[in-house]
Each structure stands twice: as structure tokens, then as C-alpha cells.
Amino acid sequence: MNLLFEFLKNLPEAELRKLKALVLRGTTDKVFRAMLAQAETGTFNRNKIQKSLQLTDSHFDKISSELLYKSYHTLFPEKGLELLKFLSYKVTYVKHFYKELSRQQRFIDKSEDKKLKALFYKTTINHMHYNLSIMNKDGQVMKQLSKKYVAALPKNELAAARLWVSCRLIFNSIDHLFASGHIISESKKVFAQIQKLGSPEKLTDPELLFEYYWVLTYYYISIEQFATGAEVAGKAVDALKNFCGEEVALNIVRLEMKRAELLYFSSRFQESFQKYHEVLTGPLVDVIQERGYYITKYIQVSLITGHLSEAKKMVESFIQFYARRTDETIPVREVFSCIKYYLFAGEYDTAFHYLQLGFQRNPKGKYFQYEVELRNLQVALFYLWGREEDILQMCERNIKYLRSHGYGVRDSDFPYFYVVARAIFESKTTGRALRPLEEEKFNRYNIGSYALYGRLLQMMRDKK
């Protein structure tokens, strides 16, 4: 796909207006106007442009490349890190981000200014860490950037930099293991890596303290030891309160949001809702790059606690933000939020639309955790939609899928969503009550991180 076309097609209206005002000449202008017109329709036809302007393939590609960089320069005259930041925010610009990163690196690598190099590598790692989704974070690129960052620093800063880099790489590893469903089997290896970081009591740099506690808290969340995770987050807040500064204040906000998440996972749903609401309406939230993740959790807690109007505000805000080409530009986590909200709101046709989009975004079930959620939501949707009989085949297929990945009924709670869903159907059609084990698993789905699905099972059970 042509990068210029993709860039124009998914560009927000304000930025697009700036590009439409560009004054160009001759063939270059004609190509640009043709690309803008095609971007409006959403359909790219290079043959049509080349034929009308009598351009060879190589000439067309050269002009397209020049126009892409002219567009970048118009929107970001300073180029550099601000451009990369912009590209990292939108899922449709992932290819643009990595290509532009590679281009900028070629210039940075030749520079003799080590401070400039260090700033570039560290900031780029931050863009990847905070802005890119799990499936778009290239671990090899992060490792490469990390090595270059450390190499650009003076000897007296190396120990701190190596610790910072190690925390980021471990966090990225947990991210991928968690999404692929392998974190439990690899948990001992990951914890051994964290232990090698040393003791936090010896750290006197607030940035390093935060990074250490952040990765440790995330580790305990990923292996579902929520009480321990909450304790770690509390220690981190107490430690950071001994320091001053804007970045320290931001990191305390991050930890408070993580606490809200741990309250959610500990079934303290109302407390979690209040904490999320307090932080997400506070003065510093817009500065937090990764706030989208917590907004996702806030929506879930809002649905669990019956604050449907709060969930609606959040969902409608990001649908409006991605309004120009919602299906192409909306990130995966927002797709899940849409499915869940519209299910709870009883808008099943819209929920189905986003469910289909979710499956498209996770081809061949690449990310196990996403696939399990999508299958759960599909079963709930079809039942609530009035297609109860369809779920029997779905449940059987999904139980087999989980078993093939090592999650059988004997060693995992995952399959019991389908066991309970099937039992609810049978109770409606045959009149039999749920068996004790089915009731036990139904209750399990009403606590902690399972609770949203427990509420969906309850909705299925209450359906007349």
C-alpha cells in the first residue's frame, strides 16, 4: 500500500486542511491533488493517476515519497521526535513510524553529538513503550535502540541507564507473554530477571525507583497476584513522595491509576470506580501518555458498577476522535471497549460490527488473550441477540480451542465461561437448575478481572 495515500486517508481533519493549502507546481501538484481526492474516497488507484499523468512506476513512487516527506515537514517543520510521536499515536501509522524511525536513525547514528543521540534513543523508546499497542511493539527494535542509548552515555551514567533499559525490556517481555497466554509458564524466568535488577532500597533516583516498581507491579498483575501488586504499588507511592518535581507527580498519578486497577482486580469495584474517576478527571491526566489503557479499565469498571452513562461518555469521546475513518484508525483496546459498552447498552447490531472488527484486528488468533475475549463476547452477543441455539456449537468449538492451548477444565477457569453459558441455555430450554460446579464457576465469574464477563453471564441468565 502507498504510504502517502495511507497517511492522507487517516489524517485528522485539522492537519488535512493544512496540507490542502500547500502550494505546489506542475506534475507534483497534480499527483498530490489526485491522491487527496482518492484519500477522500478511501480507495487507492495508482494506475488511474499514472495513466492520466503518463507517469512510470518509478516516477510515481519518487513523487509519492517526496510528497510524503513534504507533508511531514508541513505539519512538523522541526521533524525529528515530534513527528515520531505523532506517528506512534495512531495504529494506522505503524508502518510510517518504523520507516521514519529507520530514516531518522541513519542521520542520528552519524552524529558526533552524544547528548543528542541519547535524547533521541530514549525518547523513541518512550514513544514505543507508551504509545504503541502490544502487537505493534517490535522487541528487536527496542533492544537495538536500548543498546544505542546506553552506548551514547558517559561512564558515570551507564549503571542507571542499564537499569532503566532492563526495566523497559522486561516490561515489554511481560506484555507479549501476557497477550500470548504464556506468562504463567514463563513467570519464574521473568521474576529471575527482575531479581537481577537489585534492591529498590538502594535506588536514590526517583525515575529509576518508578521504573523498578512499575515493572514489578505489572509482573504481579500479569500472574494475578493482585494483593502483592497492590502492596508494591503502595510502597512505590510512599517512596516517590520523598521526592519533588513534575515527573515525580506524574509517576505518582500513574501508580494511583495502577492502584485503581488492582482494586478492580481485587473485586473492590466501587472503590476502583471512584479512584479511576478521581484520577481521570484530575489536572494531570492529559499529560499521561498511556491514559488510554486506564480509560479502558475505567469503562469496564463503570459497566460492572452500573455507571453506564460514564462508560458512554468515554466510548463516544474516542469514537468522535477517530470519526473520520473509525474502523481503520481506532486502536484494538478501544474496539474491545466498544463491543462491551454496546453489549451492556443493548445495541447489539453495533456491538456485532465492532466484534467483527476485533476479529479482523487479530488475524488467526495471533494474540491469545484477545482471542479468548473475542470468543467470550461473541457467545454473549449471540445469546443476548436472541440466537441462543447458535452458542452451543460456539461453546464446544471454544472449549476445544482452549484445550489445544493447554487450558482444559481441570487446570483453568477459562473454559468455564462456555460451560456456564451452555448450562444457562439448558436451564432455559429444559428447566434444569445449574449444577453445583456450574454455580461455583458462575460465582467465580463475578469477582476480580472476570467480573465483566460475570455480569454478561448474569444478563444471559436474566434474559426472558
pLDDT digits (tens, 9 = 90+) for 152-163: 999 999 999 999
Give percent above pLDDT 70 in the chain.
Answer: 99
pLDDT digits (tens, 9 = 90+) for 316-366: 988 888 776 778 778 888 999 999 999 999 999 999 999 999 999 888 888
pLDDT category, 412, cuts 50, 70, 90?
confident
CA distance 363 to 418: 22
The overall average pLDDT reported for the chain is: 92
Residue 333 within any structural domain of the chain: no
pLDDT digits (tens, 9 = 90+) for 95-123: 999 999 999 999 999 999 999 999 999 99
- SS3 string, the chain, reads CCHHHHHHHCCCHHHHHHHHCCCCCHHHHHHHHHHHHHHHHCCCCHHHHHHHHCCCHHHHHHHHHHHHHHHHHHHCCCCHHHHHHHHHHCHHHHHHHHHHHHHHHHHHHHCCCHHHHHHHHHHHHHHHHHHCCHHHCCHHHHHHHHHHHHHCCCHHHHHHHHHHHHHHHHHHHHHHHHHHCCCCCCHHHHHHHHHCCCCHHHCCCHHHHHHHHHHHHHHHHHCCCHHHHHHHHHHHHHHHCCCCCHHHHHHHHHHHHHHHHHHHHCCCHHHHHHHHHHHHCCCCHHHCCCHHHHHHHHHHHHHHCCCHHHHHHHHHHHHHHCHHHHHHHCCHHHHHHHHHHHHHCCCHHHHHHHHHHHHHHCHHHCCHHHHHHHHHHHHHHHHHCCCCCHHHHHHHHHHHHHHHCCCCCCCCCCCHHHHHHHHHHHHHHHCCCCCHHHHHHHHHCCCHHHHHHHHHHHHHHHCC
| pLDDT given for residue 280 in this prediction | 87
Pick the range with the lowest mean pLDDT from 27-31, 81-85, 112-116, 200-204.
200-204
pLDDT category, 291, cuts 50, 70, 90?
confident
Inform me whether the pLDDT recorded for 410 exceeds 90: no
| pLDDT given for residue 46 in this prediction | 93
pLDDT category, 287, cuts 50, 70, 90?
confident
Inform me whether the pLDDT recorded for 286 exceeds 90: no
Inform me whether the pLDDT recorded for 24 exceeds 80: yes
Residue 424 within any structural domain of the chain: yes
Q: Pick the residue with more confidence: 281 or 163?
A: 163
| pLDDT given for residue 318 in this prediction | 84
Domain that holds residue 438: 386-462
Residue 410 within any structural domain of the chain: yes
Residue 399 within any structural domain of the chain: yes
Residue 429 within any structural domain of the chain: yes
Mean pLDDT within 424-433: 91
Mean pLDDT within 79-90: 90
Residue 252 within any structural domain of the chain: no
Give percent above pLDDT 90 in the chain.
Answer: 72
| pLDDT given for residue 324 in this prediction | 66
| pLDDT given for residue 330 in this prediction | 85
State how many domains the chain has: 1
pLDDT category, 30, cuts 50, 70, 90?
very high
Mean pLDDT within 73-101: 92
pLDDT digits (tens, 9 = 90+) for 364-393: 888 888 999 999 999 999 999 989 889 999
pLDDT digits (tens, 9 = 90+) for 199-225: 888 899 999 999 999 999 999 999 989
Q: Pick the residue with more confidence: 161 or 284?
A: 161
CB 97 within 8 A of CB 84: yes
CA 297, 298, 301, 302: dihedral to nearest 10 degrees? Answer: -140
Residue 317 within any structural domain of the chain: no
Inform me whether the pLDDT recorded for 290 exceeds 80: no
Residue 457 within any structural domain of the chain: yes
Q: Which amino acid is at 137?
A: K
